[in-house]
């Protein structure tokens, strides 16, 4: 069985994330979408909220499971018996950071390969940061996040700016 881990902060999950997860699910027998807990990043949503949002938007993808972890990605990947780490890339600037992480993960766990999926053109600009900024200023994020989680995100982030 081929297993891939698709890590991220997912704070919040966007259509860009869903695209990468969906595409990975067509290649691997099992895709573990991992909410990675980064103590150096301040999150807008709790880990359980992010897990629940991911469960809601991946409900129809049978071979996707959602989990959370606060340790090294390489250790988690090893424990799961995964052979791949799937990461999405929007731009060259993403690649520089992700390439470093891929090399570090390979050094820590040689049995997993990092596989990069390039984003679709309609999602190139899309990030959780963009969604948070638009929502916090009262903007409409309908085209950026799935309907199942739109209200959750809007209620949390919309500060009532007129």
**Catalytic residues, which ones?**
17, 41, 90, 128
d(CA 6, CA 13): 13
3-state SS assignment for residue 7: strand
Facing residues of 114 across strands?
85
Contacts 24+ apart (CB under 8 A), 70-76: 70/36, 70/37, 70/39, 72/108, 73/5, 73/7, 73/34, 73/36, 73/101, 73/105, 74/104, 74/105, 74/108, 74/109, 74/112, 75/108, 75/109, 76/5, 76/34
């Amino acid at each position: 069985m081929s297993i891939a881990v698709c890590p991220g902060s997912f704070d919040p999950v966007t259509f860009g994330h869903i695209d990468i997860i969906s595409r990975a699910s067509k290649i691997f027998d099992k895709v573990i979408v991992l909410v990675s807990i980064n103590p150096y990043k301040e999150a807008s949503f709790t880990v359980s909220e992010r897990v629940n949002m991911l469960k809601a938007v991946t409900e129809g993808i049978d071979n996707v499971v959602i989990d959370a972890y606060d340790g090294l990605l390489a250790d988690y990947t090893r424990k799961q018996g995964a052979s791949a780490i799937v990461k999405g890339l929007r731009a060259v600037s993403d690649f520089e950071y992700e390439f470093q992480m891929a090399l570090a993960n390979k050094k820590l766990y040689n049995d997993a390969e990092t596989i990069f999926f390039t984003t679709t053109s309609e999602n190139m600009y899309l990030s959780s940061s963009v969604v948070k900024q638009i929502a916090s200023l009262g903007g409409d994020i309908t085209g950026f996040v799935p309907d199942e989680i739109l209200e959750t995100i809007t209620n949390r982030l919309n500060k009532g700016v007129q």
